[in-house]
Structures are given as structure tokens and as C-alpha cells.
């Protein structure tokens, strides 16, 4: 549905309060779970205006209020010290400002020519980090680093719409206080409304797991001593096969898949389990990585690759025969770890079946790749290979975490369907990130003939956006708040 959006804010505070109260009443029952896509938000706002007889000129303002309502509880779960107050430069006086601009934004001179010093003083007393900038890459970096986990943003409605996608896709809890005027010069804000937003109290009931810390924890699990212990390997009497295999598991890697398993469990479990995850969760995540690592060893042999992670592959150093044997040993390590899990028999069986199924499908996908190397590559054929070869690893990682958290059947079904899409979008992005493909490799870029590399990348990126949208649409079927936010972040990480 095409909605005509007018970027206007009611100038009378009582009018703004009236609309805000109506929005809260509207969401009193069946408030959608964050994040909500822009199009869906627009449809909800349009319905609201129709039913409540609110003038459609305030549609954009209603969308902001709705988005604030959806995210407010989640922002309350962010400690104030990890919240960022983001102010626009246009609040400064165009005639009297003595502030200096650097690569980040405006450095306020506290000259008193505008309300910025007053706002920053209030935010500082509450514990906020403040920044006067618009669209600064430093904001994204602060979020990625974990220093910032929530945002209170001040801007005009048009700028808020432009920033919406970036913040919403990353599932960052954020609420907005619209400027009363726009024009990018000498703008005004209702200080009382901003004060109310800044004074939102911390509520630990809405806290999210610290996924940045969890990712660091996951990386720490991969050390030789621990791997030897959980695979029953005696390092004092181990041969080259055991040593080199365990070193390979503990070596370089993004650790996406074990992180996903641990994060899914954390999102679906009450409390702060992510801080010290049960050993059976840690070991399951390690097993998931074992199967992935084994597939990489065999993949390097089959593709005659000599380097991975900018280091020589096992087959390049020790030969194909040794590498095949090491890959098989790593598979055995994975099943050995799963066999020792201290969980209910039905959960253990579900996890082993999931891993075994993924293992079968991955090898089938590799076989499809062998066949396609002798044929003309088409988008349909290549995507089918991605589904068979890449998606199973995501499916195993997602669903193993869900099994451990005793997720319901509906959640497992959505994760199953989402993993199919994630594998495709992950592999398309991987292809577009590396245009210099091996001449015998399977790549989405090779499906486009007789056009320039630039055009190939543009077509592949359009396909990536299509599958990314399908991934995000699938989130609408998730009924668990923390899980939906986590999955939104996973999608953003994979596609970003």
C-alpha cells in the first residue's frame, strides 16, 4: 500500500500528547514485537489515522510514536551509561554558534547561543553519552563495539525516516524525539518531551543478552586443552592426526555458527544465562563448529585450495591423504562431544539427527557443485546449491540452540525456513565480496554473462537485497521478543 507521508509535527503540545495517548491505547493489546519493518509501520499508522479520525497529515508523526512505543521497553532494558543521545547540528544557532566541527560532528563551545549546552548537561547528569552529529559512522562503530546499546535520537521526521532502516535492521533499541521545525537551520525542540525520553528508567526485566561479550566468550572456548578434554584426547600420547586436527579446530575462524547456537539458547532462556552458559550448551556449540571445520578441510581438498584465512590449508601442508583423515577425525570429535551431552535423551537425539541431516545435505550440495562445474551456471542452479551446501550449517546452528532451550514447534519451523534463506543470502554476499573467483568455482557472479564486473555485482546485490527482505519478512512469524531481536541482528550481520 502506497502511503503519502507528510513530514509535519503538531506544534501544540496538547495535540501531540493527545495523539501519543491514542497510540498507547491503540497498542494496549497486541503491540507488535520489535523490530517492525517500515512498510508495516506505515500500514499500522494509516489504519490508526483511519479509525481514530486523526488527520493523515500527521501520519509520519504517528509512525514515530508507534515505533517509540514498540521500542521503549527494550530501551529501558539498556543501562543509561550505554545509551547515546544523538542531537542534530541544526539545533545550534546559525548566527552565534562558536562550536567547532571535526570529523565526528559539532564540538559544543557552551556559548549559550542555543539549547544544546542545556540538553547536554541534563543528559550528562543522567549518565548519557552525547553526540552532535547526523549519520556519523562513529555511531555505528560505537554500537558494534558494544559501548552503545540504545539511542535517543533528535531529528526532523524526514531524517528519522532515512535513519530508520539502519537502526531498525540492526535491532538497536531507539526512540526518537522529533524536532518541532525543520529546514536544517535554527530548529526547535520541546525540551520537556526530550527530558521525558531521557529519564526513561532502567528496567532489568527488558535487558538483552550482551551478545558482544557472548561472542568473546565463544572464541575463548576454542583452546587445545578444552578440546582435548571434551573429545577424550590424551595430549601426552596423541599422534599427529589428533594434534593437527585439534589445532585446526582451535585455529582461525569467524565462529559464526557456534555463536548462533549459544545466542539462540540465550535469547530463548529467561534471565542472564549468557554470562555463564551451561557446559552442555558450550559443548554443543563447539560440536557445531567441528562439523563446519571438517567440511572446510574436505572442501579445500576438493577445490584444490592451498590457503584459507590467509594461511596454508592442511592439504597444502600435509597432503590430501592426511587432510582427508584429519577431516574425518574432526567429524568424529563432533559426534563424540554430542554423545556425551548431559541433556534429556530426546533433546540429544534431536540434536544428533539435526547435525546428521545437515551433514548429509551439505555433501549432497557439494556433489551438485561437482556436476554444475561441467555445465552452464544459472541463478536457479547456483541458488539451489547454496540451499543444499550452505543453509544446512545455519539450520543446525539455529535449531541446536533452540532444542537446548526447549523451543516450541512453531519456533523450530520458522528457524528451519529462515535458515534456508540465510544460507542463500550469506553465499551471495560472499561472492560479491570477492569478485576474483577461481575459474572453476561456483559463483552467483558467473550466472551473468557478457556484462562488466560492475554490472554483475549490481545484479548480485539486487538478488541479495531480495533474499534479505525475505529473511526480514520471516521475522514477522516470530512470537518471542528477544529471539526476534537476535535474529534481526544476525540477518544484519550476515548481510551488512
203-216 residue pLDDT tens = 998 988 888 889 99
Query: What tens digit of pLDDT does each residue of 256-288 get?
Result: 999 999 999 999 987 666 678 999 999 999 999
Give tens-digit pLDDT for 109-120: 577 666 788 888
- List pLDDT tens digits, range 226-244: 999 999 999 999 999 999 9
DSSP 476: G
H helix count then E strand count, the chain: 20, 8
Do 147 and 272 share a domain, yes or no?
A: no
17 and 157 together in one domain:
yes
**pLDDT greater than 70 at residue 75:** yes
Q: Which residues contact 413 (CB under 8 A, 6 or more apart)?
A: none
Instruction: Please give the pLDDT value at position 113.
Output: 60
For the beta sheet containing 174-178, the strands, ordered from the edge strand earlier in sequence to the opposite edge, are 129-132, 83-87, 150-155, 174-178
> Are 224 and 163 part of one and the same domain?
no
Q: Are 422 and 491 in contact (CB under 8 A)?
A: yes
Within 10 angstroms of residue 317's Cβ, the number of other Cβ atoms is 12
- Pair 153, 300 in one domain: no
Question: For residue 95, what are the domain limits?
Answer: 13-205
Using alpha carbons, select from 26, 23, 28, 27 the residue that is nearest to residue 10.
23
Residues 197 and 275 both lie in one domain: no
Name every residue whose Cβ is closer than 8 Å to that of residue 222 and which is 6 or more positions away in sequence. Answer: 249, 250, 253, 255, 286, 289
Per the domain annotation, does 335 fall within a domain? Answer: yes
Q: How many domains does the chain have?
A: 2
90 and 238 part of one domain: no
Whether residues 149 and 236 fall in one domain: no
Mean pLDDT, residues 319-326 taken together:
94
Residue whose C-alpha is closest to residue 79's, from 177, 207, 211: 207
Domain boundary among 205, 223, 255: 205
86 and 120 inside one domain: yes
In a domain, residue 416? The reply is yes
Among 205, 222, 243, the domain-final residue is 205
Write down which residue in 205, 222, 241 finishes a domain: 205
Going by pLDDT thresholds of 50, 70 and 90, the confidence category of residue 440 is very low
pLDDT average, residue stretch 435-452: 75
**Residue pLDDT, tens place only, 140-177:** 777 777 788 999 998 888 888 888 888 888 899 999 99
Least Cα distance to 212 among 288, 280, 278, 149 occurs for: 149
For 226, list phi and psi in degrees, rounded to 5.
-70, -45
Amino acid at each position: 500500500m502506497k502511503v503519502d507521508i507528510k513530514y509535519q509535527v503538531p506544534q501544540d503540545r496538547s495535540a501531540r500528547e493527545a495523539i501519543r495517548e491514542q497510540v498507547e491505547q491503540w497498542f494496549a493489546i497486541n503491540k507488535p514485537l520489535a523490530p517492525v519493518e517500515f512498510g508495516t509501520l506505515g500500514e499500522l499508522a494509516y489504519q490508526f489515522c483511519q479509525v481514530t479520525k486523526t488527520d493523515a497529515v500527521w501520519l509520519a508523526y504517528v509512525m514515530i510514536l508507534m515505533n517509540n512505543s514498540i521500542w521503549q521497553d527494550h530501551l529501558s532494558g539498556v543501562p543509561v551509561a550505554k545509551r547515546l543521545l544523538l542531537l542534530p547540528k541544526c539545533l545550534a544557532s546559525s548566527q552565534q554558534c562558536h562550536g567547532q566541527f571535526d570529523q565526528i560532528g559539532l564540538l559544543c563551545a557552551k556559548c549559550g547561543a542555543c539549547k544544546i549546552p542545556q540538553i547536554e548537561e541534563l543528559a550528562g547528569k543522567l549518565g548519557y553519552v552525547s553526540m552532535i552529529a547526523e549519520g556519523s559512522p562513529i555511531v555505528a562503530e560505537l554500537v558494534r563495539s558494544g559501548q552503545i546499546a540504545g539511542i535517543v535520537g533528535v531529528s526532523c521526521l524526514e531524517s528519522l525516516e532515512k535513519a530508520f532502516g539502519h537502526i531498525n535492521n540492526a535491532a538497536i533499541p531507539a526512540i526518537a524525539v522529533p524536532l518541532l521545525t525543520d529546514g536544517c537551520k535554527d530548529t526547535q525542540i520541546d525540551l520537556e518531551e526530550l527530558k521525558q525520553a531521557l529519564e526513561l528508567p532502567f528496567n532489568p526485566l527488558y535487558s538483552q543478552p550482551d551478545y558482544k561479550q557472548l561472542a568473546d566468550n565463544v572464541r575463548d572456548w576454542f583452546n587445545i586443552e578444552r578440546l582435548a578434554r571434551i573429545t577424550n584426547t590424551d595430549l601426552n600420547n596423541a599422534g599427529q592426526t589428533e594434534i593437527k586436527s585439534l589445532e585446526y579446530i582451535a585455529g582461525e575462524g569467524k565462529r559464526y555458527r557456534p555463536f548462533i547456537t549459544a545466542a539462540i539458547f540465550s535469547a530463548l532462556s529467561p534471565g542472564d544465562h549468557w554470562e555463564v552458559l551451561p557446559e552442555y550448551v558450550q559443548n554443543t556449540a563447539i560440536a557445531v563448529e567441528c562439523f563446519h571445520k571438517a567440511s572446510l578441510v574436505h572442501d579445500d581438498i576438493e577445490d584444490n585450495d592451498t590457503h584459507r584465512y590467509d594461511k596454508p590449508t592442511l592439504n597444502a601442508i600435509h597432503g590430501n591423504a592426511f587432510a582427508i583423515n584429519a577431516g574425518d577425525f574432526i567429524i568424529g570429535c563432533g559426534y563424540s562431544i554430542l554423545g556425551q551431552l548431559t541433556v534429556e535423551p530426546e533433546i540429544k537425539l534431536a540434536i544428533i539427527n539435526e547435525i546428521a541431516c545437515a551433514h548429509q545435505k551439505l555433501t549432497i550440495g557439494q556433489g551438485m557443485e561437482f556436476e554444475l562445474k561441467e555445465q552452464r551456471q544459472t541463478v536457479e542452479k547456483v541458488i539451489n546449491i547454496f540451499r543444499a551446501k550452505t543453509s544446512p550449517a545455519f539450520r543446525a546452528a539455529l535449531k541446536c540452540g533452540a532444542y537446548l532451550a526447549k523451543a516450541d514447534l512453531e519456533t523450530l519451523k520458522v528457524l528451519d525456513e529462515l535458515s534456508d534463506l540465510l544460507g542463500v543470502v550469506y553465499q551471495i554476499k560472499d561472492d560479491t565480496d570477492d569478485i576474483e573467483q577461481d575459474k572453476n568455482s561456483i559463483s552467483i557472479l558467473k550466472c551473468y554473462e557478457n556484462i562488466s564486473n560492475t554490472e554483475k555485482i549490481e545484479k548480485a546485490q539486487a538478488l541479495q537485497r531480495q533474499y534479505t527482505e525475505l529473511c526480514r519478512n520471516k521475522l514477522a512469524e516470530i512470537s518471542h521478543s528477544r529471539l526476534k531481536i537476535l535474529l534481526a541482528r544476525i540477518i544484519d550481520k550476515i548481510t551488512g
